[in-house]
């Protein structure tokens, strides 16, 4: 066994109903005197509940998906004007993304309080959109110093958004099996994340206010994101990045349609991935395990349902081929990619 593994430095405070005390402790330990709370208008009530009587210098609620550069610039200027020394984000990946955009230029530490399962809080990856083009990069300064997880904050997340961001977490786990920096540590973490998310998601689809399942999902989403932050983007994320960018497809639905087909294509070539995924899904094999999970969830299965045209497949293949990671367990020909996209287009079953 020979590998290089990197763990990102981050503290985690996990506990239902404890986000107010956890935030108060963070502010005190960091001697923060000028706190900026970032929460979208729809997340404001949650943020106010967490903050309570704590001293806040600046409230910021202008948040938009994929962090438009204009929004980031306005938030950065406001943070500077108020001499902010601690950023606190309360919300989903879009809100965490805005805090990261401020940290990127201004080096202010972040305490992140996630209210979805997207997992951005556990990565050092930032994203910014300029003139409809999303640029991403990784830099440790954007990694939140502390994450506060409080499952009570996720009880209001509607089932469709819960399933979409839960499947995002599952994609982190499965792609970690063959991503460029995949190693035994992040693969073990990915297996644990997959087990936990896959067990909790169907329960939440039936009973959205089940706190125990919400805790399990949040815990699993964290493990998934840590695995992904360490392993990097594999074939699945490369395909989704191209499709999302070139054809303006919805992020979550694209992931959901592509994931089964990437697993179907890769898994026979990696004995360890087959074993880990099957075990995590309590199934006899990885394909039937993922298929059964999809059957139990209200999720998008076909790219044809999200505005992707079959005629775009040849161009998509050309765009994806040069960025297929060398780490992929199978070599990928144009014919292979065409088949993966054809199957994703129709939402073919993999069992």
Residues engaged in binding ligand NAD (CB under 6 A): 40, 42-43, 65-66, 91-95, 97, 115-116, 118-120, 123, 125, 127, 153-154, 156-157, 161, 165, 251
**Residue spans of alpha helices (H) in the chain:** 19-29, 44-51, 69-81, 93-106, 159-176, 184-206, 211-231, 235-247, 251-266, 271-280, 286-295, 313-320, 334-346
Residue appearing with tokens 């306005």: 74
Beta bridge pairs of residue 14: 149
Pairing of strands 133-138, 11-14: unpaired
Query: In the complex, what is the shortest distance from the CB of residue 186 to ligand NAD, in angstroms, rounded to a whole number?
Result: 14
Pick 38 or 273: Cβ nearer ligand NAD:
38
Q: What is the rounded CA–CA span in Å between residue 65 and residue 337? A: 29
Enumerate residues 6+ apart whose C-beta is below 8 A from 312. 246, 247
| Residue with smallest beta-carbon separation from ligand NAD | 93
Pick 160 or 275: Cβ nearer ligand NAD:
160
Contact 159, 22 (CB under 8 A): no
Query: In the complex, what is the shortest distance from the CB of residue 162 to ligand NAD, in angstroms, rounded to a whole number?
Result: 9
Contact 250, 306 (CB under 8 A): yes
Pairing of strands 86-91, 110-114: parallel
Query: In the complex, what is the shortest distance from the CB of residue 79 to ligand NAD, in angstroms, rounded to a whole number?
Result: 19
Query: In the complex, what is the shortest distance from the CB of residue 208 to ligand NAD, in angstroms, rounded to a whole number?
Result: 10
Rg (CA), the chain: 20
Pick 49 or 330: Cβ nearer ligand NAD:
49
Query: In the complex, what is the shortest distance from the CB of residue 204 to ligand NAD, in angstroms, rounded to a whole number?
Result: 12
Pick 101 or 313: Cβ nearer ligand NAD:
101
Pick 137 or 314: Cβ nearer ligand NAD:
137
Query: In the complex, what is the shortest distance from the CB of residue 122 to ligand NAD, in angstroms, rounded to a whole number?
Result: 8
Query: In the complex, what is the shortest distance from the CB of residue 95 to ligand NAD, in angstroms, rounded to a whole number?
Result: 6
Which among 230, 224, 257, 255 is positioned nearest to 241, based on CA atoms? Answer: 255
Pick 246 or 269: Cβ nearer ligand NAD:
246
Pick 186 or 264: Cβ nearer ligand NAD:
186
State whether residue 147 is helix, strand or coil: strand
């Amino acid at each position: 066994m020979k590998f290089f593994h990197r763990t990102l430095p981050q503290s985690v405070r996990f506990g239902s109903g404890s986000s107010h005390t956890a935030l108060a402790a963070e502010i005190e330990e960091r001697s923060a005197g000028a706190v900026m709370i970032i929460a979208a208008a729809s997340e404001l009530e949650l943020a106010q509940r967490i903050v309570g009587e704590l001293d806040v210098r600046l409230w910021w609620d202008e948040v938009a998906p994929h962090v438009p550069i204009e929004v980031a610039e306005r938030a950065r200027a406001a943070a500077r004007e108020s001499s902010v020394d601690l950023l606190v984000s309360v919300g989903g990946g879009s809100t965490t993304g805005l805090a990261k955009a401020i940290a990127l230029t201004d080096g202010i530490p972040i305490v992140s309080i996630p209210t979805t399962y997207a997992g951005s809080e556990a990565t050092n990856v930032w994203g910014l959109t300029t003139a409809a083009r999303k640029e991403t990069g990784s830099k440790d300064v954007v990694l939140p110093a502390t994450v506060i997880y409080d499952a009570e904050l996720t009880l209001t997340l509607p089932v469709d958004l819960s399933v979409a961001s839960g499947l995002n977490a599952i994609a982190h786990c499965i792609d970690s099996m063959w991503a460029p920096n995949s190693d035994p540590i992040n693969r073990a973490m990915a297996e644990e994340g997959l087990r936990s998310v896959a067990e909790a998601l169907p329960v939440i689809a039936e009973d959205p206010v089940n706190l125990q399942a919400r805790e399990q999902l949040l815990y699993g989403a964290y493990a998934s994101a840590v695995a992904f932050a360490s392993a990097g983007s594999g074939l699945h994320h490369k395909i989704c990045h191209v499709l999302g960018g070139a054809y303006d497809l919805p992020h979550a639905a694209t992931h959901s349609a592509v994931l089964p087909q990437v697993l179907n294509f890769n898994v026979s070539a990696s004995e360890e991935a087959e074993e880990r995924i099957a075990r995590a899904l309590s199934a006899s094999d990885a394909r039937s395990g993922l298929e059964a999970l999809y059957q139990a969830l209200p999720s998008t299965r076909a790219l044809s349902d999200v505005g992707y045209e079959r005629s775009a497949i040849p161009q998509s293949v050309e765009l994806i081929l040069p960025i297929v990671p060398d780490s992929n367990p199978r070599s990928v020909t144009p014919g292979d990619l065409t088949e993966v996209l054809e199957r994703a287009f129709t939402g073919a079953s993999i069992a």
